[in-house]
Structure 1
Amino acid sequence: MLISMLLGLIAGLTIFFIAIIVMSKAVSRAADYQFKKWISMLTTNPIMGILVGSIVTAITHSSSGTTVMVVSLVNSGVMNLYQATAVIMGANIGSTFTAQLISFNFYAFVPHLLFIGVLLYYLNFHPAMKQLGKFTIGFCLLFIGIEIMSNSMDPLKHVPSFQQLMLSIEDHSFKGVLVGLFTTAIIQSSSTGVAILQSMGFQGLINLTQALPILLGQNIGTCITTIIASFAVDKNGKRAAIIHLFFNILGVVLLYPFLDPFAQFISQLTPLNPVRQIANAHTVFNILNTLILIPFIRHMVWISQKIIR
């Protein structure tokens, strides 16, 4: 049972990762240097920066991809740290788009969309249509991977040690934060981590009270990709990575004392749907964190400059 469950989980994760890579490459090939220049021009205002970060991340389904791009743009001088901070905030909001899509019953449309994507890719009407087809194929693979993961986790209902772990997280929420942090740091994708949580919620393996601290830890764990990318850039690129980490840690610290009332509020929005609850918690947390910290963009930049001299 355990081996078949692990094989199913690995297969689902692999398809999920392939889907994100396919979509990201389709978007990057459709965009040239002019796209980066437009991003630089549009992000001079913090609100516009947040909007750009949200849209780019929602399209690519990868906040890590957006923040790594931001680090490279800062490193090349196309974007300054104030612009970068706003885009990073937006990337955190945009990363919740995948979870929201998963929370709706979208699977019935996947075979039809996959057929359209294959047609657009192979009929080759136009290079842009080819990339759109590639993106659509990746988008469908995303849901296929999640479906496989969800089905593979069903046997966990009957594993006593797993049940004990979930109960211990409910009583000791900091353990959940650590679980989310380390697992997301290993897989380097918060979207994947949240998708796994939603799959567990669908199978009745986890409730919102147990999922919420893990969700917070995932927001910190996703910063590892940006930190690794910053090793190859100059001091401003490293500062952008520090800002990303600092922003997410601050959000967790601010919400952590209010986990119970926050969970109650989210539960009331969709009382009978744990998958939607996890998606809504992910979205509301990142929007609240951004709204609270927008006035402190300059302070975060100043702190990053003190850390990386």
Structure 2
Amino acid sequence: MSGFDLLLKIAGGVALLLWATRMVRTGVLRAYGSQLRRFLGSATKNTLSSFGMGIGMAGILQSSTATALLAVAFAGKGLIAIGPALAVMLGADVGSTLVVQILSLDISWLSPVLILLGFVCFTTRPTMTLRHLGRVFIGLGLMLLSLKLVVAASEPMRDSVVLQNILSALSEAPLFAVILAALITWITHSSVAMVLLIMSLSVAGVVSADLALVLVLGTNVGAGIVPMALTMSETPTARRIPMGNMLFRFAGVLILLPMMEIVTPYVAELSGADVGRQVANFHTIFNIGLAIVFLPFVGVMSRLMERALPEGMGTEDDLKPKYLDESVINTPTVAVACATREVLRLADIVEEMLRKSISVFETNDPTLLQEVSKADDQVDELHEAIKLYLTQVSVSELDEDTSARCVELISFTTNLEHIGDIIDKNLLEIANTKIKKRIEFSEQGWTELVELHRMALDQMQLAMTVFVSGDVDIARQLIAGKEKFRNMEQRGGDKHLDRLREGRIESIESSALHIDMIRDLKRINSHLTSVAYPILDASGELRESRLRVRPHSEGRPAKANT
């Protein structure tokens, strides 16, 4: 077998391992993501419970990085303090080693069973949760299969003189070995996959036990770098967690690296002759040791990180509110005015999302699609901040008008957030399908969609005017626009059906996308017009019911059958 074929097989096995790890993580998050986030928020009241939660989260997700990102998200919103979040990270480091421990056992026979079980769960689709669990089972089966492939492909490398010389040089330069392993872990974004790869190469006799343990230290450094790199754009508060965890890992490696000649024999004595077991055990022992040594110092590290990354550091974060002044909360009238400015800022962002969304369909530009989708993160952040701010304002004793205005602000903000979600999760998904499948709308169909979109933008402008002014006439105009939109939608639907009956290819291919796009624009219009109803209701402009009253309907006896 040539060297190229050998490297190709190993690279294929590693790629399968990385993909399988991602499948498991994605399946778990889609099946139980909301529950995991809720548990993380409720079990971080003290250091020990946070540590335990970190172990459980990383064990389930098979990734300390995924756990880190969840902790960072909570810290960024002020839902978890830095100290408990660092404890979560120490627990996650231990939890990710449990996955390695399980996969280090000789359970390769489970691979076809798990893949078959996952296939059945994924294809039969009795429930969405079971479908996602099917993805998890397939991922686990592929992980076991990939490890077997890597071991089998690596065995011929034992006889390579060139490789032996390279590995010998690495053994004599442990610091360089640590840096190399850290770099590879950062590139692959998976410490679990990296440790399993080291274990497979050591089982195949390619890597010696001494070098394998040093590479595990490097993997732990790389595992600390990954969440740091992924959170560089976050707020200073959020970035304190991965940086503190990185310092814990780095300190542990610095302490242990000079002592590896002493440590290695003890690991071999504890684990026996099985080199793979030595790698798995050392990885677990190292992270448990980190937790024991540094768990009492999470408070000290938290204060150190506050000094290293103060809140004012860096550029202004656009995700944060600009006008919600905490100092005027006890003055409700002024606070409501501040909230109104922030809501208008939120409305401008949503309007820009809506405006750009049609350009995504027109240009088929995936970069623009990502840009519009990213804006929804800002919408969600501002929506949450405005709600919390107005909740604090409502604690004070409010007069009737101010209380009603708070309700209107929360209602309009919620509708804007829903519109952002519709654009991000529905309209952009339709656009993504159009781009991927290279579908084109018919000329007439596209013209109708553009007109509906333009009408939705006009309604957006009216809704913002009604929100600010409370003008009854403009509110009536907004409701009339809803009726006009409905008529346009019905005419467009009828024309689309006519084109389908005529057998037009473009209309047939784009029919599902066309109908879904109309539906989503209609939903956006409904959310926009809701701002007018409280104003019209207060002025007596609304009927109690839209149902037509039937004359003589009350008390009329039913006709007897004849």
**SS of the residue 2:80 aligns to:** coil
Gaps of 5+ in 2: 311-562
Match of 2:101 in 1: 100
Q: Give the total of aligned pairs.
A: 309
- CA-CA distance at 1:118 after TM superposition: 1.4
Spell out, residue by residue over 1:70-94, the C-alpha distance to the aligned partner (whole angstroms, 9 max, x if none).
2122112222211210110011111
List structure 1 runs of 4+ shifted beyond 6 angstroms: none
* Cα distance in 2 between the residues matched to 1:278 and 1:288: 15
* Residue 292 (structure 1) aligned with residue 293 (structure 2): yes
| Structure 2 counterparts to residues 175-186 of structure 1, below 5 A | 175-186=176-187
Between Structure 1 and Structure 2, whose CA radius of gyration is higher?
2
In structure 2, C-alpha distance between the alignment counterparts of 1:85 and 1:54, rounded to whole Å: 12
The Cα offsets for residues 77-129 of structure 1, whole Å up to 9 and x where unpaired, read as 22221121011001111111232122210101211122122112222233222
More helix by share: 1
Q: Would the aligned equivalents of 1:20 and 1:60 in 2 still touch at CA under 8 Å?
A: no
Deviation for aligned residue 1:30: 1.7
| 1:157-196 correspondence to structure 2 within 5 Å | 157-196=158-197
CA root-mean-square deviation:
1.6
TM-score (structure 2 length as normaliser): 0.53
Aligned to 2:147: 146
Deviation at 1:283, TM superposition (A): 0.4
Give the conservation status (yes or no) of the 8 Å contact 2:18–2:188. no
- Distance apart, 1:226 and its partner CA: 0.9
Separation in structure 2 between the aligned mates of residue 58 and residue 137 of structure 1, nearest angstrom: 17
Match in the other structure for 2:5: 4
Alignment partner, residue 113 of structure 1: 114
Moved more, 194-203 or 31-40: 31-40
| Alignment-derived partner of residue 224 in structure 1 | 225
| SS of corresponding position for 2:272 | coil
Tell me, what secondary structure is at the counterpart of 1:95? helix
The answer on whether the counterparts of 1:22 and 1:138 sit within 8 Å (CA) in structure 2 is yes
**1:284 positional shift:** 0.5
Q: Structure 2: how far apart are the matches of 1:123 and 1:176?
A: 47
User: 1:213 corresponds to which letter in structure 2?
Assistant: V
- Retained in 1: the 8 A contact 2:17–2:143? yes
Cα distance in 2, alignment partners of residues 133 and 273 from structure 1: 32
2: distance between equivalents of 1:103 and 1:44? 34
Q: Give the letter aligned to residue 93 of structure 1.
A: V
CA contact (8 A) 1:22 1:134 kept: yes
CA contact (8 A) 2:271 2:278 kept: yes
Q: How does 1:120-139 map to 2 (within 5 A)?
A: 120-139=121-140
CA contact (8 A) 2:21 2:193 kept: no
Query: Which residue of structure 2 aligns with residue 271 of structure 1?
Result: 272
Question: Are 1:37 and 1:78, in contact at CA under 8 Å, matched by a contact in 2?
Answer: no
Tell me what 1:208 maps to.
209
Please list the CA deviations of residues 218-244 of structure 1 after superposition, one character each: whole Å capped at 9, or x if unmatched: 111122321122122111111112112
What code does the residue aligned with 1:50 have?
A: F
Q: Give me the TM-score of the superposition, normalised by structure 1.
A: 0.95
Q: CA deviation at 1:267?
A: 0.2
Q: Which amino acid aligns with 1:200?
A: L
Look up the match of 1:22.
Answer: 23
Letter paired with 1:75? G
CA contact (8 A) 1:176 1:214 kept: yes
Residue 38 of structure 1: CA displacement? Answer: 2.1
Structure number with greater CO (CA < 8 Å, separation at least 6) is 1
Following the alignment from structure 1 to structure 2, what is the Cα–Cα distance between the partners of residues 188 and 124? 31
Residue aligning to 1:233: 234
1:135 Cα shift?
0.8
Distance (whole Å) between structure 2 residues aligned to residue 186 and residue 260 of structure 1? 29
Residue 438 of structure 2 aligns with which residue?
Answer: none
- Say if 2:57 and 2:92, in contact at 8 Å, map to a contact too: yes
1:34 Cα offset (Å): 4.8
Q: Which residue of 2 aligns with 1:36?
A: 37
Residue pairs, 1:16-95, within 5 angstroms:
16-95=17-96
Is the 1:15–1:141 contact (alpha carbons within 8 Å) kept by the matching residues of 2? yes
Contiguous gaps of at least 5 residues in structure 1: none
